[in-house]
């Protein structure tokens, strides 16, 4: 690999962090202190920027030396990125930090500060106890550290970044995505529109399911109700046979049912909403849509009163990027990270009401 991004001395990185995170920013000291500055410097040094395929580990930071930080050719930088991750890996010179700063770099600086504000992206697929790299600078944030960016151009770039990523809504989105990626605990409790609660096994799919029922349904449906919910390893978690019968829908667990079936009872003719939850795979593609249409038609539903929604955690994640092209026309995509919006893949139908 050639053409690594140019590096600023960590002291200059610190000055720019102070500009990005002004006085009054929550937990600002964690975002502009020496450890944060050296963490960002090291990420740029080894090219741990989103899209590069390289990820930063705390070890890259605490085993950096003053002498190594001054070796800025591509060869020196790439050699350091790989050598330091080997068993016993080290470089000569005056160490920046001792090994016991690992937790501070990982928790206080990375997860609770830089990741929380969107400056750093964490790979949540890596095991918690893994010593491998899991962090990469957000590409737009890394661009703020380009040495050639100076004066008014720098001020403008920082203001644009802050305007996009440090708003209350943007920070809320980061928090939602982080919560969805976390799988701690054994259960996720879901509150249905009628006030009933159910417990799902903890996991990314259950977190999205919770958001669909608690956030999506009251936002996009006038009088929402849940007819059916399933989870991985448990075909049926809940179903409302009485309500389903009242609107003419026969829910048979041996059928190829979606993850969630919602109904909007406000229209004169109820709107049936089939929802597929996608944590890894399984969006509503052409074949899946056809199968769900058959279920609706077999129940006597006119397809003009049926909607199809694929629910994701966030559109910035690889899951959506990988499956977007397979989404069927005439369906919708919704993201828990941006709950007020919905994407319509229009084929001439009216938007979901």
What is the pTM (predicted TM-score) of this model?
0.57
**CB 149, CB 157: distance < 8 Å:** yes
Q: Percentage of residues in the chain with pLDDT exceeding 90?
A: 51
The domain limits of the chain are 10-184, 188-345
Q: What are phi and psi of 234, to 5 degrees?
A: -145, 100
| Segment 5-20, tens digit of pLDDT | 999 999 999 999 999 9
pLDDT of amino acid 317: 76
Burial of 336 (0-12, 13-18, 19+ CB in 10 A): buried
Most confident segment among 117-131, 158-172, 283-297: 283-297
Give the bridge partners for 226, in sequence order. Answer: 262
188-345, superfamily in CATH?
Answer: BsuBI/PstI restriction endonuclease, C-terminal domain (3.40.1350.80)
Fold for 10-184, please state it. Answer: Arc Repressor Mutant, subunit A (1.10.10)
Lowest mean pLDDT among 123-127, 211-215, 303-307, 337-341: 123-127
Most confident segment among 114-128, 177-191, 308-322: 308-322
| Residue in this structure with the two tokens 């350091």, named with its chain if needed | 80
pLDDT of amino acid 138: 95
pLDDT level of residue 237 (50, 70, 90 thresholds): low
Here the contacts of 85-88 (C-beta below 8 Å, separation 24 or greater) are 85/57, 85/59, 85/60, 85/131, 85/132, 85/133
Rounded distance between C-alpha atoms, residue 57 and residue 99, angstroms: 12
Q: Which two tokens stand for residue 171?
A: 């920070």
Mean pLDDT value across residues 230-236: 60
- Given a cut of 70, whether residue 212 has pLDDT beyond it is yes
158 three-class SS: helix
- Given a cut of 70, whether residue 1 has pLDDT beyond it is no
pLDDT level of residue 243 (50, 70, 90 thresholds): confident
Mean pLDDT value across residues 290-304: 87
| Segment 72-103, tens digit of pLDDT | 999 999 999 999 998 888 888 999 998 888 88
Q: Which of 250 and 43 is assigned the larger pLDDT?
A: 43
pLDDT level of residue 179 (50, 70, 90 thresholds): low
- Given a cut of 90, whether residue 256 has pLDDT beyond it is no
- Straight-line distance from the first to the last Cα atom of the chain, in angstroms, rounded to the nearest whole number: 50
- Given a cut of 80, whether residue 322 has pLDDT beyond it is yes
pLDDT level of residue 213 (50, 70, 90 thresholds): very high
- Given a cut of 80, whether residue 222 has pLDDT beyond it is yes
Choose among 275, 280, 57, 54: nearest CA to 180. Answer: 280
Q: Which two tokens stand for residue 40?
A: 């960002």
| Segment 134-172, tens digit of pLDDT | 999 999 999 999 999 999 999 999 999 988 888 777 667
DSSP summary character for residue 234: E
**CB 117, CB 174: distance < 8 Å:** yes
- Given a cut of 50, whether residue 122 has pLDDT beyond it is yes
Q: Quick one: CA dihedral 45, 166, 33, 58, positive or negative?
A: negative
pLDDT of amino acid 311: 95
pLDDT level of residue 127 (50, 70, 90 thresholds): low
Rounded distance between C-alpha atoms, residue 44 and residue 137, angstroms: 8
To the nearest 10 degrees (0 to 180), the angle between helices 34-45 and 10-20 is 110
pLDDT of amino acid 160: 93
User: At a CB cut-off of 8 Å and minimum separation 6, what does 350 contact?
Assistant: none
pLDDT of amino acid 253: 61
Q: What are phi and psi of 311, to 5 degrees?
A: -105, 125
């Amino acid at each position: 690999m050639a053409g690594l991004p140019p590096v600023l001395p960590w002291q200059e990185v610190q000055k720019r962090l102070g500009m990005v995170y002004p006085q009054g920013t929550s937990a600002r000291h964690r975002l502009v202190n020496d450890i944060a500055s050296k963490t960002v410097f090291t990420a740029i040094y080894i090219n741990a920027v989103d899209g590069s395929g390289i990820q930063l580990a705390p070890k890259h930071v605490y085993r950096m030396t003053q002498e190594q930080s001054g070796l800025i050719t591509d060869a020196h930088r790439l050699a350091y990125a790989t050598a330091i991750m080997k068993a016993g890996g080290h470089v000569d010179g005056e160490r920046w930090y001792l090994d016991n700063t690992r937790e501070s770099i990982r928790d206080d600086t990375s997860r609770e500060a830089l990741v929380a504000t969107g400056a750093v992206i964490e790979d949540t697929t890596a095991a918690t106890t893994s010593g491998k790299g899991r962090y990469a600078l957000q590409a737009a944030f890394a661009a703020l550290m380009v040495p050639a960016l100076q004066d008014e151009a720098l001020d403008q770039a920082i203001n644009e970044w802050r305007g996009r990523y440090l708003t209350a809504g943007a920070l809320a989105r980061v928090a939602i995505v982080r919560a969805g990626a976390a799988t701690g605990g054994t259960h996720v409790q879901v509150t249905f529109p009628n006030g009933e609660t159910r417990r799902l096994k903890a996991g990314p799919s259950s977190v999205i399911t919770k958001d669909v029922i608690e956030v999506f349904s009251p936002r996009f449906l006038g009088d929402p109700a849940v007819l059916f919910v399933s989870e991985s390893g448990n075909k049926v978690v809940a179903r409302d046979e009485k309500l389903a019968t009242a609107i003419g829908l026969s829910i048979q667990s041996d059928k190829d049912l979606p993850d969630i079936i919602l109904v909007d009872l406000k229209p004169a003719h109820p709107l049936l909403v089939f929802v597929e939850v996608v944590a890894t795979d399984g969006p509503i593609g052409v074949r899946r849509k056809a199968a769900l249409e058959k279920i609706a038609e077999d129940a006597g539903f006119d397809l003009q009163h049926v909607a199809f929604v694929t629910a994701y955690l966030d559109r910035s994640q690889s899951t959506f990027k990988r499956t977007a092209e397979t989404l069927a026309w005439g369906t919708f995509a919704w993201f828990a990270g941006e709950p007020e919006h919905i994407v319509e893949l229009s084929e001439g139908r009216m938007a979901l009401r």
